[in-house]
Structure 1
Amino acid sequence: MTRPDEHHTTGVAGHYAPQLTPVVEAFAESVHDPTAGGAALSIWHEGEEVVRVHTGIADSRTGRPWDDDTRAILFSATKGLAAVAVARLAESRTLDLEAPVASLWPEFAAEGKGRITVMDVLAHRAGLIAPDGATTIEELTDIREFAARLAAQRPMWPNAGAHLYHALTWGPMVSEIVRLGTGRDAADVFARDVAAPLDAAVALRADDRDMRYIAYTTAPPELELMMSRTVPQMGELAQRMLTAGGALPVTLVGDGTGLNDPRLLRSGQLSAAGTGTASGLARIWSSTVRPTRGLRVLSDEAVKQLTIPRSWGPGAFDKPNGGPYHRWGAGVQLASEALTWLSPSSFGHDGAGGQAGFADPEYGIGFGYVTNRMAAAPVIGPIVDALRSVLDGARDIPSSPPPSV
């Protein structure tokens, strides 16, 4: 077996197996201006890390370079990690995903929501895509109060009869379901049952130590201009959905605001406020399909239940002949025309600006890409295409982890 070692791709630091040079070259090209931001990539194959690289800067205000300990804001990739923790609870029969939410949370039955199940919430079928009015950042970060507000709302469609992405409301509902169903905080469940056993530098609620390593995220002017023009044209409901009732800017980040606000990163908002390294992200996804660091966090049966398609096709307000559309399992994105990833068996979650974490049981892959310079469109396509080409053509993929950097 070839041992991953330090190789030279312009502007990239870290370690990778020589067979994977095309993948790292594609990664380098994903960061158009390393002086404005940075990124990191980790790939695990058959339970071993074969790529761990980074480039650029972690903080455009100070020029702090990206290093191996830098953590990025994960945006909606947070949802996939929370879904893994929930899948573990379901596998241990601690939480029944087919039970009505109201059986755990009686207040949720208000306004005709008594038949909505935990699975419906996970699969974006609850009809609570936005708060019912204006929201402040203080209200958004009070997770239990925000959840109570959603529980009192009328759903936008009856009896989970449609789906639409619950961008910023998904997390508070899942948090409250886990708390009431287990007596434990969801971010703590993830930390103790998933991240800690894998020694993965990922958190769904940042603490003081985490905050020292978090990259400062920026939106380029072209993205700010596009969002400022596009979101108002989408209508008032869409604005409430994408900004949580105005609590966040339309780009999700600003100068110390939005997801750059430490209050949000410390809140345990499972919709978008997770933080982590690319290596930690990929390590967790690897552990869902292969023993990784001696641990398999989900069994094959649990993965099967996690990835049964629950929502697909046009959403509640989508045009019937539009698309391409996403597919959803129990809180994870499945491979689809909208999100092809590595193979039809891939599952995970992406995030605003370019973040992505996924697993692929067919190839035995755990993948993590993070950045702090938001992109207007997903950027990992060429990286994943290069990885697929290498995997399909290689006879000898290295199995030894890279040395520490």
Structure 2
Amino acid sequence: MTEFVSTRAAYARNFESRNELGASVAVWKDGELVLSLAEGWMSRKKVKGWSAETLVPFYSVTKGLASSCVLHALDAVDRGLDVELHTLWPGFPEPHLTVGELLSHQGGLAALDRRVSVWDYDEVVDALEEQLTAWDPPQHGYHPRTYGFLLDEVVRRLTGAKTLGEYWRKEIAEPNGLDLWIGLPESEFDRVATLYPGKMTTSTSETVFYEAFNKDGSLTKSAFSSPRGLQSVAEMNVPMAWQAGLPAMGGIGTAAALATYYGMIACGALFSQRVRDWMETPLVNGDDQVLLMPTSFSAGMMKDPVDAAGHKLRTNFGPSTRAFGHPGAGGSHAFGDPENGVGFGYVMNQMELGVLPNVKATDLVSGVYADLLG
């Protein structure tokens, strides 16, 4: 069994020279958790030490959990990705959009014209039903916030569950002992680390995105502020945000649980083969209307985009083109790799600016594969 020399070295570098405060990284390989590192502090006050049980809000990493609820529910009633949404949700604004297209960010509902609150579920759903789509398939564009409400409503209508977060705990997390939450109970509050925002640097690789993100009237800015609320990192450090159960950005958990979740999927131990195929198979690949860079998505999972020859443009999810998962704002990252039987999870509380994994995460991923594959 490997000693994960390269991974441990990358992890140490993050604390030595990359401003890491508290962080965990974990790896699942071929049926077991083979690495779990945890170090640092839960806050800048340095009163409570960081452990493998420290819970961390991880923003859009939540999308990889939330989309699995939709896929699991579809599979349970023997329906496929070609189901048209209006048959499940009569008020849905686009009559022919399928569940697969929605999950792969082809729906054109990333931004809302109405100013509605992230705290008012019914108000957001009403606004979505009235919204004109910004594009049609096969174009795609990342839905940073509305995605969670769209998926939540689909799960409620498919299953009768009160919320997607409730379905996640009952059907997936609890039966498999996963310390992952979309709606955190009060009993777990003491385990939650404090998040700190990243600072803008001149070396960002996402310059075009940030120019649009800061431009009034841009689709990118509108998408990241629709619905309104929870715009600052400080707002994520309060129990109201932890309890809200927002499926696009409100998940909380540990690195070990994320690695276990994706490792179980990669090894075929969590969902059916059909669900894993849905997660693995890219549905879109190319220019993203919101992120303004190449992206690729399967049914609910992000993948590394590829060029015309099928070669990866990025390796955020490791070397395999079969790998899938989802990063979160600030640097948290998790994925599964069926080809190599790997699950990976990384969470931290000192964020960096960026919608894609930064060097703290990508160095860890490179280290994992150097250790496992040589």
Shorter-chain TM-score bucket reads 0.7 to 0.9
Partner of 1:344: 321
Matching residue within 297, 300, 317 for 1:331: 300
Match of 1:102 in 2: 86
* TM-aligned CA deviation for residue 107 of structure 1: 1.3
For 2:109, the aligned partner's letter is L
Matched to 2:12, the amino acid is A
Shift of 1:90: 2.4
Matches within 5 A, 1:76-115: 76-93=60-77, 96-109=80-93, 113-115=94-96
> Does 2:141 align with 1:164?
yes
Greater Cα radius of gyration, structure 1 or 2: 1
The one of 304, 307, 321 equivalent to 2:277 is 304
Task: Give 1:300 deviation, angstroms.
Answer: 2.7
Q: Determine which of 188, 195, 198 is the counterpart of 2:166.
A: 188
Aligned-residue sequence identity (percent) comes to: 25
2:221 corresponds to 1:239: yes
3-state DSSP class of the match of 2:92? helix
How many residue pairs end up in the alignment? 357
- Would you say the 8 A contact 1:30–1:380 is kept in 2? no
* Alpha-carbon distance in structure 1 between the residues aligned to 2:220 and 2:361: 26
- Look up the match of 1:155: 133
The equivalent of 1:13 in structure 2 is: none
C-alpha distance in 2 between matches for 1:346 and 1:272: 22
Read off the aligned partner of 1:305 and give its amino acid letter.
W
* Distance of 2:289 and 2:274 partners within structure 1: 30
1:263 aligns with 2:240: yes
Instruction: Measure the CA separation in 1 of the matches of 2:178 and 2:291.
Output: 38
8 Å contact from structure 1 (residues 201, 280) kept in 2: yes
TM-score calculated relative to the size of structure 1: 0.81
SS of the residue 2:184 aligns to? coil
Indicate the residue corresponding to 1:71 in structure 2: 55
How far does residue 260 in structure 1 lie from its aligned partner after superposition?
Answer: 2.3
Deviation string, structure 1 residues 4-63 (Cα, Å, up to 9, x no partner) = xxxxxxxxxxxxx6x212211212222357987211001011011111111211122463
For 2:241 and 2:13, locate their aligned partners in 1 and report how far apart those are by CA, in whole Å.
Answer: 31
Which residue of structure 1 aligns with residue 310 of structure 2?
A: none
The superposition leaves residues 260-292 of structure 1 with CA deviations (integer Å, 9 ceiling, x where unpaired) of 24323211210010000001111110110226x
Q: Which amino acid aligns with 2:287?
A: P
Question: How far did 1:242 drift?
Answer: 1.5
1:55 aligns to what SS in structure 2? strand
Partner residue of 2:233 out of 253, 260, 265: 253
**Which aligned runs of 4 or more in structure 1 are off by greater than 6 angstroms?**
33-36
Query: Is the counterpart of residue 140 in structure 1 residue 153 in structure 2?
Result: no
Which residue of the other structure, out of 100, 107, 129, is the alignment partner of 1:119?
100
CA-to-partner distance for each residue in 1:191-218, whole Å, 9 max, x for gaps? 1222112211100111112322111101
Q: Which runs of 5+ in 2 are unaligned?
A: 306-312
- Asked if 2 retains the 8 angstrom alpha-carbon contact of 1:310 and 1:330, the reply is yes
Question: 1:39-89 CA distances to partner (integer Å, 9 max, x unpaired)?
Answer: 100101101111111121112246322112111111100000112222222
For residue 385 of structure 1, what is the aligned residue in structure 2?
A: 366
Asked if the contact 2:323/2:335 (under 8 Å) is kept, the reply is: yes
Q: 1:203 to 1:239 in 2, by over 3 A?
A: same
Contact kept? 1:144, 1:176, Cα under 8 Å: no
The AA in structure 2 aligned to 1:330 is A
2:344 is aligned with 1:367: yes
Taking structure 1 as reference, are residues 39 and 314 closer, same or farther at Cα in structure 2, changes over 3 Å only? same
Q: Distance between the aligned counterparts of 1:284 and 1:305, measured in 2?
A: 16
CA distance in structure 2 between the partners assigned to 1:142 and 1:266 by the alignment:
14
Match of 2:289 in 1: 316
Does the aligned pair in 1 maintain the 2:118–2:230 contact within 8 Å?
A: no
Give the deviation of 1:352 after TM superposition.
0.7
In 2 relative to 1, CA 283–234 (structure 1 residues): closer, same or farther, beyond 3 Å?
A: farther
Q: Secondary structure at the match of 1:145?
A: helix
- Structure 2 Cα separation of the partners of residues 134 and 391 of structure 1: 49
Q: Which amino acid aligns with 1:253?
A: V
Q: What secondary structure is seen at the aligned counterpart in 2 of 1:206? A: coil
Structure 1 residue 118: Cα displacement: 1.6
Deviation at 1:327, TM superposition (A): 0.7
Is the counterpart of residue 290 in structure 1 residue 236 in structure 2?
A: no
Q: Indicate the SS of the match to 1:354.
A: coil
Give 1:317 deviation, angstroms: 6.3
Aligned-partner Cα distance in 2 for 1:306–1:189: 19
Secondary structure of 1:211's partner? Answer: helix
User: TM-score by structure 2 length?
Assistant: 0.87
